[in-house]
A and B are shown apart, each in its own frame.
Chain A
Amino acid sequence: MKDNKTNSAVVPLVGFYWRKLVLFCGFFAVFLFTISTVNTYKADIDQYVPEFGDLDLNVTLEIKPDGSVYIDGQKFKEHVNILADKEEIRFPVLDNSGQYFDSVTINVVLPKEVASVSQYEFLGIHGVGSTETKLVDENNIKFIANDVSSAAILTPVIIMPKGTVQPPMALKAVSSAKSLRAGIWIAVGVLLPLLTLILLFTFIAYQIRRQRVDRPDYETAAPPMALPPALVGLLFHQKIGPREIAATLIDLAERKDIYIVDRERDFAFLKNKFDNRLLTYEKVLLSKIFNTKLISDKEEVDHRINNHLYSKKLSLVTAGINVLGTRLGYFKVNPQKMQMKYLAYGASGFFIGLAGFVLSLKIFSDTPYIAFFWLGMMVSALVITFMAKNIPIRTVLGQGAVSNWLAFKKFLTKNEKMPYSFHSQEMFQKYLPYAIVMDCEVAWAKRFSEQNFELPDWYVTDRDGLSLQDFCLSLFPIVSYVARSFAAIREPGFK
């Protein structure tokens, strides 16, 4: 606890990242813009409120050529509804006004001379004595209601021929979208992610074909080059995952930088010595495990994992290995950068889709099937996020390196027991990290199953007589637990 307090004093409570600041400023600007737009929109009246006192109410409702509606000269929020075969006005002009009227007369001015070819009716509920309509001339229709209660709802309905109003482009587009059948939107919602999947799959297949890695028909009994195991894992998987972290831990142990203590239902890591040959990412990983201590037990490791959703240090470890791999010329671009690029595309697409989904349910409440387009977009974005990381980006040098390491993998997985030699044990331990990153640690261990086994000196346990199988069954869960937990808490995007 004391230690935590010390750490808290050093590490700022809230990290400060320029990119995040810029991103959130962007979001805030969009938010402000939206709010201001909504407020402008709300400046139009959304309900007509008559002046108090007059028992005979006269209202003029004017439909403009663009389909907008003015009541007594004031712009109303409602608009002419553009349907596939007609255009209509259908909204209450008087709604729960709170006052009684002997008569209400609504004079409707049409944008064109279409009164005689339009259908119209005057709907009145919640206390309306009678209603009637009068055709004044080709431009004017009069709607009259008598004995109108304070709770009454009066709606003049006018169904005009198609083409009476010329709405703005945006409204035309909305109307066109609304007029499409539900089946079309559902099909779009299904086809969009399917198309994305096919395109990406084709692209990845094409890239794999172009960057073909030769499968060697020979084996090499030693690593083809002196690369840290994590880098070999990056070559194979193009990403840093639990296997790469696990291999690094065992490699560090093998190099006597740490000890792994196996206790019953518990484990601990012990720091051994200061090693100036450590690579930067290895130093950071050790600092993540030990902080300033020399011993880090399960409780400590758990605390470090659970105290952070994302860990800057683990992100640094990942970034370090990626940078190393790129500098050595194995990749055309930094694999992490490539993944982040597609993650950004995917996340942007997903959130645009989510916003569109929510807005379409709100705006197109009568034709909500448009939301399927946005759902399709969200799924497509997820497809991009999860699939794009598999796009191969190895250079010719990288492809050659993988090919060489595959020859070594052939040796590790050979279905033949290792002949006994004085160096067998040493060889098993030395190549174990490489076997882990090349997904073949079990096959590698099997090659030694018939030999006497001695525990590595970096593996400390109070149990006696552990066989090779017991050792693997004890070590792998510990290392994979730590590696998986650490791999899961990398801060996305930290460079």
Chain B
Amino acid sequence: MRDFIEKIVYGGGILFDLAKWFIATVVLLSVITTFFVAIFTVDGASMEPNLHDRELVLWNKNAYSGSKKPAKNDVVVVNYKGDPAHRKYVKRIVGLPNDAVKIENGAVYVNGVLEEQGYLSFDVETMPDGQWQVAADQYFVMGDNRPNSNDSRNFGPVEKRFVLGKALAIVFPRFRLIKDI
């Protein structure tokens, strides 16, 4: 026992020797998850049937840095603009800057053209009716589970500064690329 305690106190090396590797690993992982890619846990059913509650999603934090801009149908991680410090949502880009988005009788029109939304469940309708003019540097986002999603229909289009990155793949429990869903 004393030998064991001596090893802990004087090291046997393990604690102190590993400290530098621990620090290096933590710093490296922090850099990767802060600036490059990170894991997002889906919380809720707002992106059903494509993303499910508690699924782990890998997302690219650099997808929209600089002059790169979100494209239509991108699945994005956005800050809730009413509480950007604490709430992140995963939604889909439906309207781009300067688009006119209209919801009427369960269908979505962008600039007067009916949207093809193959990613929605067969019988899902988009409610309630409404019209939004998306300003420059703003995006209209909606969840795929239209009846059960708080999105731009509730809080309006979001500025680009609140669009944090692009979802790339579901990594748990079953790996799938987002572009394939």
Using a CB–CB cutoff of 8 Å, the interface residues on chain A facing chain B are 4, 8, 13-14, 90-92, 95, 121, 123-126, 153, 155, 157, 182, 306-310, 354, 357-358, 361, 365-366, 368-369, 371, 375, 378
Q: Is B180 an interface residue (CB 8 A)?
A: no
Question: For the complex, what is the distance from the CA of A492 to the CA of B71, rounded to whole Å?
Answer: 56
Question: For the complex, what is the distance from the CA of A307 to the CA of B5, rounded to whole Å?
Answer: 11
Are B9 and A13 in touch, CB under 8 angstroms? yes
B1-29 CB mask vs A (1 if < 8 Å, else 0) is 01101110111110011000001000100
Q: Is B82 an interface residue (CB 8 A)?
A: yes
Are B34 and A368 in touch, CB under 8 angstroms? yes
Are A310 and B10 in touch, CB under 8 angstroms? yes
Q: Which single member of B10, B12, B82 contacts A123 (CB below 8 Å)?
A: B82
Residues of A within 8 A of B154 (CB): 123-125
- Closest B residue to A350 by beta carbon equals B23
Are B81 and A309 in touch, CB under 8 angstroms? no
Q: Is B41 an interface residue (CB 8 A)?
A: no
Question: For the complex, what is the distance from the CA of A153 to the CA of B11, rounded to whole Å?
Answer: 52
Question: For the complex, what is the distance from the CA of A13 to the CA of B6, rounded to whole Å?
Answer: 7
Given contacts A357-B27, A368-B35, contact A309 B12 (CB under 8 A): yes
Question: For the complex, what is the distance from the CA of A290 to the CA of B52, rounded to whole Å?
Answer: 66
Which B residues between 88 and 115 are near A, CB-CB below 8 angstroms?
A: none
Q: Which single member of A4, A126, A310, A369 contacts B11 (CB below 8 Å)?
A: A310
Are A125 and B30 in touch, CB under 8 angstroms? no
User: Smallest distance from the beta carbon of B35 to chain A beta carbons, Å?
Assistant: 7
Are A95 and B83 in touch, CB under 8 angstroms? yes
Question: For the complex, what is the distance from the CA of A56 to the CA of B11, rounded to whole Å?
Answer: 64
B114-142 CB mask vs A (1 if < 8 Å, else 0) is 00000000000000000000000000000
Given contacts A123-B155, A126-B150, contact A90 B27 (CB under 8 A): no
Are B9 and A14 in touch, CB under 8 angstroms? yes
Are A153 and B82 in touch, CB under 8 angstroms? yes
Residues of A within 8 A of B84 (CB): 90, 366
Residues of B within 8 A of A309 (CB): 10-13, 16-17
Residues of B within 8 A of A121 (CB): 156
Could you list 6 further interchain pairs (A-B, Cβ under 8 angstroms) beyond the known A90-B82, A123-B81?
A: A4-B3, A13-B5, A13-B9, A123-B154, A123-B155, A368-B35
Q: Is B171 an interface residue (CB 8 A)?
A: no
Using a CB–CB cutoff of 8 Å, the interface residues on chain B facing chain A are 2-3, 5-7, 9-13, 16-17, 23, 27, 30-31, 34-35, 65, 80-85, 150, 154-156
Residues of B within 8 A of A123 (CB): 81-82, 154-156
Are B83 and A308 in touch, CB under 8 angstroms? no
User: Smallest distance from the beta carbon of B162 to chain A beta carbons, Å?
Assistant: 10
Question: For the complex, what is the distance from the CA of A103 to the CA of B22, rounded to whole Å?
Answer: 53
User: Smallest distance from the beta carbon of B55 to chain A beta carbons, Å?
Assistant: 21
User: Smallest distance from the beta carbon of B39 to chain A beta carbons, Å?
Assistant: 16
Residues of B within 8 A of A153 (CB): 82-83
Residues of B within 8 A of A95 (CB): 83
User: Smallest distance from the beta carbon of A133 to chain B beta carbons, Å?
Assistant: 13
Q: Can you show 24 pairs from A to B with CB atoms below 8 A apart? A: A8-B6, A13-B5, A13-B9, A90-B82, A90-B83, A90-B84, A92-B83, A95-B83, A125-B82, A153-B82, A307-B7, A307-B10, A308-B11, A309-B13, A310-B11, A354-B27, A357-B27, A361-B34, A365-B85, A368-B34, A369-B35, A371-B30, A375-B27, A378-B27
Q: Which single member of B6, B23, B30 contacts A361 (CB below 8 Å)?
A: B30
Are A155 and B83 in touch, CB under 8 angstroms? yes
- Closest A residue to B79 by beta carbon equals A366
Question: For the complex, what is the distance from the CA of A153 to the CA of B82, rounded to whole Å?
Answer: 8
Question: For the complex, what is the distance from the CA of A365 to the CA of B3, rounded to whole Å?
Answer: 45
User: Smallest distance from the beta carbon of A445 to chain B beta carbons, Å?
Assistant: 35
Are B27 and A8 in touch, CB under 8 angstroms? no
Residues of A within 8 A of B13 (CB): 306, 309
Are A371 and B34 in touch, CB under 8 angstroms? yes
**10 pairs of A and B residues whose beta carbons are closest in the complex:** A309-B11, A155-B82, A123-B82, A125-B150, A309-B13, A368-B34, A123-B155, A308-B10, A92-B83, A125-B154
Are B34 and A157 in touch, CB under 8 angstroms? no
Residues of B within 8 A of A182 (CB): 65
User: Smallest distance from the beta carbon of A7 to chain B beta carbons, Å?
Assistant: 10
User: Smallest distance from the beta carbon of A248 to chain B beta carbons, Å?
Assistant: 24
User: Smallest distance from the beta carbon of A77 to chain B beta carbons, Å?
Assistant: 10
- Closest A residue to B23 by beta carbon equals A354
Are B82 and A8 in touch, CB under 8 angstroms? no
Given contacts A155-B82, A354-B23, A378-B27, contact A307 B34 (CB under 8 A): no
Question: For the complex, what is the distance from the CA of A120 to the CA of B31, rounded to whole Å?
Answer: 36
- Closest B residue to A312 by beta carbon equals B10
Are B12 and A306 in touch, CB under 8 angstroms? yes
User: Smallest distance from the beta carbon of B175 to chain A beta carbons, Å?
Assistant: 27
Residues of B within 8 A of A91 (CB): 82-83, 85
Given contacts A357-B27, A368-B34, contact A307 B6 (CB under 8 A): yes
Question: For the complex, what is the distance from the CA of A359 to the CA of B27, rounded to whole Å?
Answer: 12
Residue of A90, A306, A361, A378 most packed against chain B (CB within 10 A): A90
Residues of A within 8 A of B27 (CB): 354, 357, 375, 378
- Closest A residue to B11 by beta carbon equals A309
- Closest A residue to B155 by beta carbon equals A123
Residue of B30, B65, B82, B84 most packed against chain A (CB within 10 A): B82
Residues of B within 8 A of A308 (CB): 10-11
User: Smallest distance from the beta carbon of B76 to chain A beta carbons, Å?
Assistant: 16
Question: For the complex, what is the distance from the CA of A375 to the CA of B82, rounded to whole Å?
Answer: 32
User: Smallest distance from the beta carbon of B143 to chain A beta carbons, Å?
Assistant: 12
